[in-house]
A and B are shown apart, each in its own frame.
Chain A
Amino acid sequence: AQKVTQAQTEISVVEKEDVTLDCVYETRDTTYYLFWYKQPPSGELVFLIRRNSFDEQNEISGRYSWNFQKSTSSFNFTITASQVVDSAVYFCALSELTQGGSEKLVFGKGMKLTVNP
């Protein structure tokens, strides 16, 4: 079975600090997708990134960057120069093929980030 582990449950930082959110996954699929979503206090999940298993290039988007390493089955997320608006719960997710042939997401437990001014 697929599994996503976010070992950190809660992190608190001071504004402008860098913070890395860890994600480790388990899968037997050779082709899969990894995702990060942000859930602010309002509850809506905001899509941040999708990465396929064949693309190990790191990605940077503004203050966000992602490090995908298949050798360690990790897909870590770094926020540089954190801001108060980054405070949210962040979920890492892995796509899984269902018995019916469609795909579903398996989510990690989430990591609550609090950025203090």
Chain B
Amino acid sequence: GAVVSQHPSRVICKSGTSVKIECRSLDFQATTMFWYRQFPKQSLMLMATSNEGSKATYEQGVEKDKFLINHASLTLSTLTVTSAHPEDSSFYICSARDPGTSGRSSKETQYFGPGTRLLVL
């Protein structure tokens, strides 16, 4: 399957600082990437859809000024948690949609990165 990487895998920061998380598709080009958040023992909640070359689409209740998303190339999307607070501590996971080789324009599989554990002190 397609490979998606995330960096860093783990980050601890002080309250009020900003943290940038990178998501890369390593062996395919992803016009669309997704950012999820997962609290302990809970499911994944979609935060935003990141489209290459355009603004991200945020889910209801997600502050776009706090969670800045940039999708500057077909293989890289970044999520910046600005002015992080302890309640932002979570597991952040990105995914990238592999368009595959079939030529289908929709419903492709999302492949997930290994996740980033953020702890804000």
Interface size class of B (residues with CB under 8 A): 20 to 34
In Å, the complex CA distance between A35 and B112 comes to 13
Tell me whether A91 and B106 are in contact (CB under 8 A).
Answer: no
Residues of B close to A109: CB separation below 8 A: 42-43
Tell me whether B106 and A50 are in contact (CB under 8 A).
Answer: no
Among B32, B34, B107, max chain A CB count under 10 A is at: B107
Tell me whether A98 and B49 are in contact (CB under 8 A).
Answer: yes
In Å, the complex CA distance between A112 and B107 comes to 27
Tell me whether A110 and B43 are in contact (CB under 8 A).
Answer: yes
Interface size class of A (residues with CB under 8 A): 20 to 34
* Interface check B7, CB cutoff 8 A: no
In Å, the complex CA distance between A50 and B108 comes to 9
Please, could you name 10 A-B residue pairs with CB atoms under 8 Å apart, sorted by A? A43-B114, A45-B95, A45-B112, A47-B1, A47-B110, A100-B57, A102-B51, A107-B43, A109-B43, A110-B42
Identify the A interface with B (CB < 8 A): 31, 33, 35, 37, 42-47, 50, 52, 91, 95, 98, 100, 102-105, 107-110
Identify the B interface with A (CB < 8 A): 1, 32, 34, 42-44, 46, 49, 51, 57, 91, 93, 95, 106-107, 109-115, 117
